[in-house]
Amino acid sequence: MTGRLGMVVAGSLTEGVQIRLDVGISTETIKVGTFVSIQGGKFRFFGQVTGVALETADMSLRGVPPDVSNPFIEQVISGTTAYGMITVEPMLVIADSDDPATVLDGPQPAKTIPPHFAQVSIATENDIEIVFGEEDEEHFYIGTPLDMETRLALNIPELVTRSNGVFGKSGTGKTFLARLLLIGILQKSNAVNLVFDMHGEYGWKGSSEGTGREVKGLKQLFSSRVAVFTLDEESSRRRGLAPDYVVRIGYQEIEPEDIQILRETLNLSDVAADAVYSLHRHFGRNWLQDFLSHKGREGVRDLADSIGVNSTALSSLHNRLSRLERLPFIEGSGHDSLNQILRYLERGMHVVLEFGRYGNDLASYILVANLLTRRIHDRYMQMSEQASGDPNRQPRPLVITIEEAHKFLTPSVADQTIFGTIAREDRKYNVTLMVVDQRPSGIDEEVMSQLGTKITCLLDSERDVDSVLTGRSGSRKLRDVLSRLESKQQALAFGHALPMPVVIRTRNYGSLESYKELGFRDDADSLSDITKARDDLFGPP
């Protein structure tokens, strides 16, 4: 459907403008969320339908309806005495005949409303492109607006300047969405990804929950630009994959802060958790290994006495931490995993760290993600400071993707973990987060409010919805939109990288065409490339 819908007849900036539908435009054809453009005298407004209503010019029509069994009479009355109204919220001014800034800087937020009788039409493909940007070197096609075929593109360099969130209850397509965003970052910006891949969904292949079908991961599509690291070499081998690097963590690399963040996961009391600092003071860098080498209740009690902490607390700490000993990826000292990751990142390689079977062990995930991130962040901080003032020497922007974030960005620990710090300090050091989570209400409110762009699939719980929309103006309307999302392939996106909130039908992912559209070249393509290259060199055979 295209063309004119009607004209502005009433409205306000706070409540939106009322549009009387033209004769012949049925309310059935207009859905809430449809994009429209309104041509005012001086500006062109871009807005979204927020309400649809039936009106009559003649109140007696309600009590004494005309004889609509006669099609002629029905035809005459509908659209004239009985008509449709829509409410549109003008969101942006997309063109101003007098102000070149709207042309140069793009759409500006609407601070006024169009005049009476301004013409309203369905937004054209061109309007959408003006507002959201065309698919180009910086804009990544993420999906289509509802009921439209127009490609909606996301400004990726803008996206990665802030931390972002992808939310949705399980099975709504969060992972697919996150995977698309990762590809977007890979293709359309100079940022690099570091993905803490809990369930092995991003690296080599993922799975589609609905069909159980396998879909390609980043490595399969962009093998030259993606490195898969693993914590669990055995699991990788079992799947017939050769990881680029097997990550090992030395005991000395684990610091008291890394244990603090595990407080809830390991169910440590405050006293026990604080004892970690005493141990660190006592033993120095190799505190964990030294502490765990104290075997037996006696040994621990003696230690408690000598460093002056409660012996019960220390022995429960000993119990809990001894499970770390059983994790095969924690061993010895002097590993180079961190530098290896950094080297890849500096070269512009995207790193996916697969957890293999340790993905199911939350403590491992949190420990490793936190430990590596903290060090990477430190390094980025140093690099940023060294490069201060020289934009050319700034480190390459890094986006760290974490899953199940509500487990370690809870209000109680958010201010202690590195992730809380990164979310808060924004792009100062060129490190940002992409939080993929199903229970946003579990995430610290401050962290949530710092997320620049949020893309959320369907959420059921009121608290989760509240938390996603925290601090967002017009959240009442968004809440309605969010609750009406379909449970698959639909998401509400809003925030920093988008000029206005939008509901999208996520782009397809998983078919050969979808891969090719993303730039994937299969064997046949490669063969024809080779043939072409050979012919170019030696002439056709």
Partner 1 sequence: MSELIAGRIGEIVEATTAAFTARCHELYVAPALGTLVRAGGNNPVLGIVAEVRTQSLDPSRRPIAMGVDEETEEAVYEHNPQLNRLLSTEFQAIVVGYESESGLKRHLSPFPPRIHSFVYECGRDRLREFSSSYEFLPSLLNSPIGPQDELIAAFLRYSSLTQEDAQAYLVGAGKALAPLLIGQIQRLNNILIRLIS
What is the contact surface with partner 1 in residues (CB under 8 A)? 23, 57-58, 60-61, 64, 66-67, 70, 72-73, 75-77, 79-81
| Residue among 61 and 512 whose Cβ is closer to partner 1 | 61
| Residue among 10 and 23 whose Cβ is closer to partner 1 | 23
> Residue 12: left (phi > 0), alpha (psi -120 to 50), or beta?
beta
| Residue among 80 and 322 whose Cβ is closer to partner 1 | 80
Question: Which residue from 1, 24, 19 is spatially nearest to 9, judged by alpha carbons?
Answer: 19
| Residue among 67 and 270 whose Cβ is closer to partner 1 | 67
| Residue among 66 and 299 whose Cβ is closer to partner 1 | 66
3-class SS at 512?
helix
> Residue 204: left (phi > 0), alpha (psi -120 to 50), or beta?
alpha
Is the alpha carbon torsion for 399, 405, 408, 412 positive or negative? positive
Least CB distance to partner 1 at residue 70 (A): 7
The continuous run of DSSP H or E covering 221 comes out as helix 218-221
Q: What tokens does 479 get?
A: 């809440």
| Residue among 62 and 111 whose Cβ is closer to partner 1 | 62
Q: What tokens does 6 get?
A: 């009607």
| Residue among 75 and 126 whose Cβ is closer to partner 1 | 75
What Rg value do the Cα atoms of the chain yield, rounded?
28
Least CB distance to partner 1 at residue 54 (A): 16
Q: Alpha helices, DSSP H only, in 387-511?
A: 418-425, 445-450, 462-469, 475-483
| Residue among 62 and 476 whose Cβ is closer to partner 1 | 62
Least CB distance to partner 1 at residue 437 (A): 54
| CA 179 – CA 286 distance, rounded (Å) | 38
Least CB distance to partner 1 at residue 74 (A): 10
Least CB distance to partner 1 at residue 11 (A): 21
Q: How many H-runs (helices) and E-runs (strands) does the chain carry?
A: 21, 21
| Residue among 22 and 209 whose Cβ is closer to partner 1 | 22
Least CB distance to partner 1 at residue 212 (A): 56
Least CB distance to partner 1 at residue 21 (A): 14
Q: Are 486 and 458 in contact (CB under 8 A)?
A: yes
Q: Which residues of 76-113 are buried (b: 16+ CB within 10 A; e: fewer)?
A: ebbbeebbbbbbbbbbbbbbbeeeeebeeeebbebeeb
Q: Using alpha carbons only, give the angle 153, 158, 159 rounded to the nearest 5 degrees.
A: 75
Least CB distance to partner 1 at residue 40 (A): 25
Least CB distance to partner 1 at residue 77 (A): 7
